[in-house]
Chain A
């Protein structure tokens, strides 16, 4: 178990190092922030001063080393688009907003997808199954930014039930969470359905039925507990997808989370914030995967013992 942990953490740290190289190079190779942040009629003096201030006149490798040393200390510099704001501090300040939205989206996904997947498996070939598959197909086919806009028009403009955008009340979170969750509901429901179908055909389920165990107990206790391993492994991907999906949805709904920051920073060539937000995403992604790996160890004794 200890060895497993050490290996997983080491590989995560190595991946993080590679990510820092990629992030640094991409943010520098995609163009100079000078041209995004200084006015069109900026003088050479203004440009030179900006370049000196941000160390852009140093060789690239030296800029990377400085970036890496500072990054290890959590120092990504100050934001260019939001002057005076510490880049990582600015990103972390917005993390709770993303986690709230992501948490609600995951909750919606799990609460809807599991019963949907189970029902589709139990009533295989029935209208319930076809309905669930149609629902899943829709969710996986619709781009979430489009779905987000449609939800705004239906529930905010036409029905007037929910606010269009922004953050503040629980009502503000409902539409963006649904827009993020629908795709995940589809994926999770399909996975649950296929896992349940496999388990429901197993010998021990037949034995339980023969022994007179009620159908509810068979499905919810004996079948689901074994089938749950498959959707559980998907949880890491789910968490990551919800985080990355938040980039578009947070922008559509003007939800001030990390995804919104990422897009605004990219638009404004605010490379300290771009670097900070991507590293923050990477760390969250790795932690969620590590968490799932650990859960997997807890759930599956073969890994624990191996």
Chain B
């Protein structure tokens, strides 16, 4: 097996080994010739996309390289490409290319940290490895590699003085530890860690524990509540391309992919677990969209939406119906597209104005028209406006919920969607409309290497919406065919989802047109403009602009909501915060015991000896 053979695009090892090697090569390139490392990164990701397409064409292949056996568990590099993993790999490679292209523009001025592209490439290899692995322990190893690289990528960004960024890894670390426990437990109980060999009935405490731990691991990566809190924290310090690359797209793909794999292939679930999933999903949708409504910082706002949308995916899979599951996975795909686009847009704004605070920007539509259009598309898509892609996946999720007869969850999901729209109206208004501020007056459109991935992603949003049956037929339905649902009636699934949207779309368009007519009718009347005076003096109007940041201040000021918000901001909904408090006091107590007095220490030794003696002589 020589190196050229490995680099063949049809070789399953290629997407793992190629980025690993190129990553090391980039590490050796001196910082002065950053163009060389940018070129290497771009060429590699482009080739990876080609590999992704090739593998997508193959659809069915498996290789196995025995590595090592620890006790009864065999750690074999079992790589399997099937209908499901092939499209996830394709999109991971796609986001890799988009991110690298975007980063080249984003880091143009100061130059990226020399290690940045190495880390991105390794993350790419790790993520693809996790998706291709059929061996649970190998999956876990790749999974952890992605987590660790996220840590390093975030730390290359601008840094806060506090320990906040460490917290995200506390959350991911504990859930990864739980997954480790679950994987080894499965290996010992069922004597196999090969995913395709396992079919576990959740009927006792131990299998239930294993499922729950894997579920938590998968959803924490994707960012569902209550293990969501790492995403907003990361958004405070990570560079924007990193946000678009990991929490917005790759981590969603990985988390929901794993959730679907364990729920549909590995475990046979009971209705209790489905209900739990619905509850988790509903809470996630609602609570995080409420948090998003009141955010000032665009990146933090987007990160709360990233959590909220995961709720829809969990809801979809939690319905246990074909339509709902298909919708959930379709939503995963759509989400990674529009959310990375939103982060790219936010990055473009940040780059051109130097600001991410919504109250300090405004009126950018005329300075950055392309960014404006792509943001509008992405915002409408995440809010579920037809005919964009987000609408179709949400619609299927609604259908799934109706089928599973959880009307309350339907109400929550729809309400959440409405609040999402409300929140993005605020974003659109305060960034692109209204009067320009000091920082936005001199803004220019972002450079080509940033615009290109943004436009491509926006086009995908439209295409996957207008021609929704194409991704459904080619990516998602084949992936779920012959899983827990048996053979899927394709016509029924697509048919069920598509008759109403057309009508709804027409109605909405009519509504829009009517609205615009009214708008222009009001313009026909004459408006008199005059100078502003206060007490005879011309005030500074730039201070008096209406930015839209406080659109939803009323919600915040409601009595019930206000209490919830202040608790949330203090961190009481964040398990990390609560556990950290308890842990901290335990540590403080133990530190007090270690008072440095020799006689105390000596007495511990003697007490220890006495206990040992009692144990040995009496028991």
Q: Are A and B interaction partners? A: no
Query: A-contacting residues of B (Cβ < 8 Å)?
Result: none
